[in-house]
């Protein structure tokens, strides 16, 4: 780690279901870093809009809601990031499929991105972080110490997300999950503001066909090597 820097930051970007959050959380636990799941923050804004009865693409409506929001996060002893909306724990609610679509839609709105930018940067200033999202290496932390772009084949990402939802007891079908993944890939990559895109200086890691353990060990090793540079 550079001696003149207070914190070390790792940016992990990539499409939905590539395994970013699972791997980032495990590596953060192993290395003693704070894990920040930025998708969960966008999901919390999406949930707030859904609950307020605002259409997912109503930018003026969502922008008017932002100043009224009270969003915060907490970390469990086991590193799980809990999201609070007005003090209410919404960690499970934000994983529902309808909230995924809302999160993707509201995340394309410039006022939403501006609102969340400083929150994310502050966390990286104050802690050693592994932060995952879509634009962490390109926009949020352009000077991150290590940038990783994690991806996998869409069918495999859908299968992993489907298995995860089943474990959480959320009823859905593989076809619905694949359709959501493809919708969000398109939405997240084609939007004009902060699209999902590999930063020029990011390392590409394709996890298709990998076990979770294999991807975890590749990423952790990469982080450790960079910390010792």
Q: Which residues bind ligand DC (CB under 6 A)?
A: 16, 38-39, 42-43, 103-104, 107, 133-136, 184, 188
Say if CB 58 and CB 128 are below 8 A apart: no
Distance CA(161)–CA(225), nearest Å, equals: 30
- Nearest-approach distance from CB 133 to ligand DC, in angstroms: 2
CB burial of residue 97 (10 Å; 0-12, 13-18, 19+): middle
Nearer CB in complex with ligand DC: 164/206: 164
For ligand DC, which is the closer residue by CB, 58 or 228? Answer: 58
* Residue (35 or 42) nearer to ligand DC, CB: 42
> Residue 43 CB, nearest distance to ligand DC (Å)?
5
Nearest to 13 by CA among 160, 162, 189, 155: 189
Shortest approach of ligand DC to residue 154 CB, angstroms? 14
Closest residue by Cα to residue 45 from 24, 65, 22, 73: 65
Secondary structure (DSSP) of 139-192: II-TT-SEEEEEE--HHHHHHHHHHHHHHTT----HHHHHHHHHHHHHHHHH-S
Provide the β-strand partners of residue 89: 84
What stretches of the chain show up as alpha helix (H) in DSSP? 20-31, 38-51, 59-65, 97-106, 110-126, 154-167, 174-190, 212-227
If the CB atoms of residues 2 and 167 are measured against ligand DC, the closer one turns out to be 167
Q: Which residues contact 89 (CB under 8 A, 6 or more apart)?
A: 82, 83
The nearest distance, CB 108 to ligand DC, in angstroms, is: 7
Please, what is the minimum distance in Å from the beta carbon of residue 3 to ligand DC? 30
The residue among 43 and 147 lying less far from ligand DC, judged by its C-beta, is 43
Q: Are strands 88-89 and 81-85 parallel, antiparallel or unpaired?
A: antiparallel
In the complex, the smallest distance separating the C-beta of residue 49 from ligand DC, rounded to whole angstroms, is 13
Of residues 103 and 202, the one with the C-beta less far from ligand DC = 103
């Amino acid at each position: 780690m550079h001696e003149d820097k207070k914190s070390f930051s790792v940016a992990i970007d990539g499409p939905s279901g590539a395994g970013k959050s699972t791997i980032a959380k495990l590596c953060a636990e192993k290395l003693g870093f704070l894990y920040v799941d930025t998708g969960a923050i966008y999901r919390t804004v999406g949930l707030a809009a859904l609950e307020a009865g605002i259409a997912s693409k109503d930018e003026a409506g969502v922008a008017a809601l932002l100043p009224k929001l009270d969003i915060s996060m907490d970390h469990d002893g086991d590193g799980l990031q809990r999201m609070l909306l007005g003090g209410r724990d919404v960690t499970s609610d934000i994983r529902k499929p309808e909230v995924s679509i809302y999160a993707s839609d509201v995340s394309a709105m410039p006022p939403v991105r501006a609102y969340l930018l400083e929150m994310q940067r502050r966390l990286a200033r104050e802690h050693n972080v592994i932060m995952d999202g879509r634009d962490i290496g390109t926009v949020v932390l352009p000077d991150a110490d290590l940038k990783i772009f994690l991806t996998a084949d869409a069918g495999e990402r859908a299968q992993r997300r489907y298995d995860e939802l089943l474990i959480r007891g959320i009823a859905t079908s593989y076809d619905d999950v694949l359709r959501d993944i493809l919708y969000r890939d398109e939405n997240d990559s084609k939007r004009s503001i902060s699209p999902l895109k590999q930063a020029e200086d990011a390392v590409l890691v394709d996890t298709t066909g990998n076990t979770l353990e294999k991807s975890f060990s590749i990423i952790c090793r990469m982080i450790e090597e960079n910390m010792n540079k």
